[in-house]
Chain A
Amino acid sequence: MTGFAKPLKIALGLAVIAGLIVVPMNFNRYGLFILSQWAVMSIAAMGLNLTLGYAGQVSLAQGAFVGIGAYAAAIMTTHGWPLPAAILVAIVLSFAVGWVLGYPALRVQHHYLAFVTLAFSTLAFLVFRNESWLTGGIYGISNIPRPHIFGIATNKPLPFYYVCLGTLAIVSLAVWWLIRSPWGRAFMALRENPLRAQSLGIDTRRYTLMAFAIGSALGGVAGALYAPLTQYIDPVPFNLSLSLDLLMMVIVGGAGFYFGPFLGAMIAVLLPEWLRFTEGYYLMLYAIAVMLLLIWSPTGILGILDRYLAERRTKAASALRAVAKSRLETAQ
């Protein structure tokens, strides 16, 4: 993304943000729901992008963390707690579970986290389904309230869309800051070359674990919004296929690119909706489109753009790495 002049980039960014705020004002309820879904999935995918794209770890449990967040929010808000409190609990819970899950896996070998998270995904689904006293079991939890933000009710689709969009904005800023902090540079150093990162004195395991736990926590945030968005949850949407979908979003958007998750979530949420006019064929065409896209550019949509800028980027990255190294050294 270093190809454009800076003012142009800022102008483009502002135009997109303004568009996201203004254009949906005359959308119907369906359009707003889909757009809110896009915002929620973008948050979850952004978390996974942190784990995968920046720290190089494959998680097959992001959907389970969305589930944990959703159940935390559903249980708390139906018992009278405000949504921000529920989001906070979702973050802490997902972070803690992520940490505990990643710890033993990363102790053994780098890529075994993928297998452990695969197993965890199934376990989480079983707990959601079987522990009826807490989660309502297969009947799920209905009548999940939407919050009042600064005294404004968000029951209607448009205000709640702004809640989703606002959360997305906050999360985006936080991630933007994170990947530019010494931590984020350490994450990237890990992905590019774990051995070298280690020899540079980066505690690889701790940083990898951190990236995974933070990524999981963002899954929790997405879940905490998903629950009041649909206002009803049951265990089925949080099974392994959601985790796989989220992984698909990250890869298709472009793993390791800041804007990858936004585009990936757009493809995964909006493309099937656009294809619905083909009726029974829409999912088939969606699958074919994803395959063609990956064949064309295995590094995702942003990878296409990146190909032209590859050379400049490597230079910039190695410069960044050098800076990260010196910063870390001075920090220690």
Chain B
Amino acid sequence: MKSTLMVGALLTALTATSAFAQAIKLADVAELSGGGATVGTNWKNGIDLAIEEINAKGGVLGRKLEVTHADSQSNPGVARAQVQKALDAEPYVLLGPGYSGSVKVTAPLAAEAGIAQIMGGEAAELTQAGNKFLFRTSFGQQSSMPKVAKYIHDDMKAKTVAVVWVNNDFGRGGRDMVTKELERLGSKVVADLSTEAGQADFAADVGKIKAANPDAVFVYLNEEESARILKELKRQGVTAPLMGETTLIGQKVIELAGDAANGARGHVGLTTDAPVDLIKAFREKFSKKYNYVPDHNGLKGYLAVYMVKATTEKMGKVDPKKFAETLHGLTIKAADEPGILMDVTFSDTGDIDRQSFLVEVVEGKQVVKQVLPKVK
């Protein structure tokens, strides 16, 4: 213990002379094993890619970025330990976690330490607890689900809707939000179907949808399960229009489901399939480095780092205390900071506002049907 302290002190003394060239330290805690491993690995890869790019171009304000990754095992208790460890090392900004439960348990710790936390969780309540240090990298479900419900009610003209969701905190949150909105608009939820993560057999669920005979089906599952239910819907001959989110109509789902994906529609807040040149370029860079096409979590991790860069450059100095204050209300334009990919504005609660799209799968390709503008 003592010897490491002394070595540490020695190192600090040695590097103190060149303090201005010291690296800016970020800490990432993500789901790198357990149920969220795919989510967390995408997030981590996105972060690494962004940091590599930024450092290759000289860093932020002349200083390099450095990140440590820690695995939360998709378990809130472990996430708490790892965030505590990260905070004990006094990072500039904390990145992650991605699971809403893990965010809930760690957000008070970061706030207490006065360190900004840029996370991947999408549950509505996260930014509604008055935390002044918490920021999203994607739409919260309270901003995406009303758009989905509105589309189902206004454009699909559905009076009755079946809602299929995956029973984890991602799926449950979306289901609660969309059900509330649909009922507010006057569409009735006639089938409410919970499914399991990793479920292979959707015959019973699709059978129930068939029996309920809804005007539209809202599907809110992970990519792999989305592909399976699309196949089963086709097999059992369900013809009601399908509506979902990024996870229903992403390129990966289309690949896995084949022509069963045709006709599915979705609201896309953040996707590597978005018809934006910067995003297409990102996708190319990412696939080249990691040999696979990222999902939206890869984008979130990438954006998190560019949020750090843009905010720091806006402040003109590396100041962890002022970071959160500066990011609140900040608008970052893609023209000024290409890494942010699309113009984005952060609200006072840490929520995100930007353009989004309504997409339909036509003959195995995504076609943009509508561009939904920023709210403000």
**Interface of A with B (CB < 8 Å)?**
28-30, 33-34, 37, 129, 137-140, 142, 226, 229-234, 236-237, 273, 276, 279-280, 282-283
Q: Given the complex, which residues of A lie within 8 Å of B85, measured CB to CB?
A: 30
Q: Given the complex, which residues of A lie within 8 Å of B71, measured CB to CB?
A: 276, 282-283
Assess whether A137 is in contact with B172, with CB atoms less than 8 Å apart: yes
Assess whether A236 is in contact with B74, with CB atoms less than 8 Å apart: yes
Among the listed B35, B69, B76, which residue makes an inter-chain contact with A140, where contact means beta carbons less than 8 Å apart? B76
Minimum C-beta distance from B349 to chain A (A): 17
Assess whether B84 is in contact with A33, with CB atoms less than 8 Å apart: yes
Q: In whole angstroms, what is the CA distance A288 to B225 when docked?
A: 32
Assess whether A236 is in contact with B80, with CB atoms less than 8 Å apart: no
Among the listed B69, B81, B101, B167, which residue makes an inter-chain contact with A33, where contact means beta carbons less than 8 Å apart? B81
Q: In whole angstroms, what is the CA distance A140 to B168 when docked?
A: 11
Q: In whole angstroms, what is the CA distance A140 to B77 when docked?
A: 12
B163 at the interface (CB under 8 A from A): no
Assess whether B69 is in contact with A279, with CB atoms less than 8 Å apart: yes
Nearest A residue (CB) for B168: A138
Instruction: Knowing A30-B85, A37-B77, say if A232 contacts B104 (CB, 8 Å).
Output: yes
B9 at the interface (CB under 8 A from A): no
Minimum C-beta distance from B83 to chain A (A): 9
Assess whether A226 is in contact with B77, with CB atoms less than 8 Å apart: yes
B324 at the interface (CB under 8 A from A): no
Q: In whole angstroms, what is the CA distance A139 to B172 when docked?
A: 8
Among the listed A230, A273, A283, which residue makes an inter-chain contact with B105, where contact means beta carbons less than 8 Å apart? A230
Instruction: Knowing A236-B74, A237-B76, say if A138 contacts B169 (CB, 8 Å).
Output: yes
Among the listed B84, B123, B167, B172, which residue makes an inter-chain contact with A30, where contact means beta carbons less than 8 Å apart? B84
B33 at the interface (CB under 8 A from A): yes
Minimum C-beta distance from A16 to chain B (A): 18
Assess whether B88 is in contact with A28, with CB atoms less than 8 Å apart: yes
Minimum C-beta distance from A157 to chain B (A): 8
B307 at the interface (CB under 8 A from A): no
Q: Given the complex, which residues of B lie within 8 Å of A30, measured CB to CB?
A: 81, 84-85, 88
B213 at the interface (CB under 8 A from A): no
Nearest A residue (CB) for B173: A139
Q: Given the complex, which residues of A lie within 8 Å of B172, measured CB to CB?
A: 137-139
Q: In whole angstroms, what is the CA distance A142 to B123 when docked?
A: 14
Q: Given the complex, which residues of B lie within 8 Å of A33, measured CB to CB?
A: 80-81, 84
Q: Which 4 A-B pairs have the closest CB atoms?
A: A30-B85, A232-B105, A30-B84, A230-B77
14 A-B pairs within 8 Å (CB atoms) are namely A28-B88, A29-B87, A33-B81, A33-B84, A37-B77, A137-B172, A138-B167, A138-B172, A139-B173, A140-B104, A142-B105, A231-B80, A233-B76, A273-B81
Most buried by A among B81, B88, B169: B81
Q: In whole angstroms, what is the CA distance A280 to B85 when docked?
A: 17
Q: Mark B16-37, 1 if CB is under 8 A from A, else 0.
A: 0000000000000000110100
Q: B interface, by DSSP: helix, strand, loop or mixed?
A: helix
Q: Given the complex, which residues of A lie within 8 Å of B81, measured CB to CB?
A: 30, 33-34, 37, 273
B75 at the interface (CB under 8 A from A): yes
Minimum C-beta distance from B320 to chain A (A): 18
Assess whether A237 is in contact with B77, with CB atoms less than 8 Å apart: yes
Q: In whole angstroms, what is the CA distance A210 to B111 when docked?
A: 47
Minimum C-beta distance from B40 to chain A (A): 11
Nearest A residue (CB) for B84: A30
Assess whether B70 is in contact with A232, with CB atoms less than 8 Å apart: no
Q: Given the complex, which residues of B lie within 8 Å of A129, measured CB to CB?
A: 167
Q: In whole angstroms, what is the CA distance A30 to B109 when docked?
A: 11
Q: In whole angstroms, what is the CA distance A33 to B81 when docked?
A: 6
Q: Given the complex, which residues of B lie within 8 Å of A29, measured CB to CB?
A: 84, 87-88
Among the listed A234, A280, A283, which residue makes an inter-chain contact with B76, where contact means beta carbons less than 8 Å apart? A234
The residues in B between 57 and 96 inclusive whose CB is less than 8 angstroms from any CB of A are: 69-71, 74-77, 80-81, 84-85, 87-88
Minimum C-beta distance from A154 to chain B (A): 16
Assess whether B33 is in contact with A283, with CB atoms less than 8 Å apart: yes
Assess whether B75 is in contact with A236, with CB atoms less than 8 Å apart: yes
Q: Given the complex, which residues of B lie within 8 Å of A226, measured CB to CB?
A: 77
Minimum C-beta distance from A298 to chain B (A): 27
Most buried by B among A29, A34, A37, A138: A138
Among the listed B35, B70, B76, B104, which residue makes an inter-chain contact with A276, where contact means beta carbons less than 8 Å apart? B70
Minimum C-beta distance from A225 to chain B (A): 12
Minimum C-beta distance from A222 to chain B (A): 12
Q: Given the complex, which residues of B lie within 8 Å of A140, measured CB to CB?
A: 76, 101, 104
Assess whether B101 is in contact with A232, with CB atoms less than 8 Å apart: yes
Q: In whole angstroms, what is the CA distance A129 to B168 when docked?
A: 9
Assess whether A237 is in contact with B75, with CB atoms less than 8 Å apart: yes
Nearest A residue (CB) for B129: A142
Q: Given the complex, which residues of A lie within 8 Å of B87, measured CB to CB?
A: 29
Among the listed A34, A236, A282, which residue makes an inter-chain contact with B35, where contact means beta carbons less than 8 Å apart? A236
Assess whether A234 is in contact with B32, with CB atoms less than 8 Å apart: no
Minimum C-beta distance from B67 to chain A (A): 12
Q: Mark B188-225, 1 if CB is under 8 A from A, else 0.
A: 00000000000000000000000000000000000000
Minimum C-beta distance from A267 to chain B (A): 16
Minimum C-beta distance from B78 to chain A (A): 8
Q: In whole angstroms, what is the CA distance A28 to B69 when docked?
A: 19
Given A37-B81, A139-B172, A232-B101: 18 more A-B contacts, CB < 8 Å: A30-B85, A33-B84, A34-B81, A37-B77, A138-B167, A138-B169, A138-B172, A139-B101, A140-B76, A142-B104, A230-B77, A230-B80, A231-B80, A232-B105, A233-B76, A234-B76, A237-B75, A282-B71
Q: Given the complex, which residues of A lie within 8 Å of B76, measured CB to CB?
A: 140, 230, 232-234, 236-237
Q: Given the complex, which residues of B lie within 8 Å of A233, measured CB to CB?
A: 76
Q: Given the complex, which residues of B lie within 8 Å of A138, measured CB to CB?
A: 101, 167-169, 172
Assess whether B169 is in contact with A234, with CB atoms less than 8 Å apart: yes
Minimum C-beta distance from B114 to chain A (A): 15
Q: In whole angstroms, what is the CA distance A33 to B109 when docked?
A: 13
The residues in B between 327 and 367 inclusive whose CB is less than 8 angstroms from any CB of A are: none
Nearest B residue (CB) for A239: B35
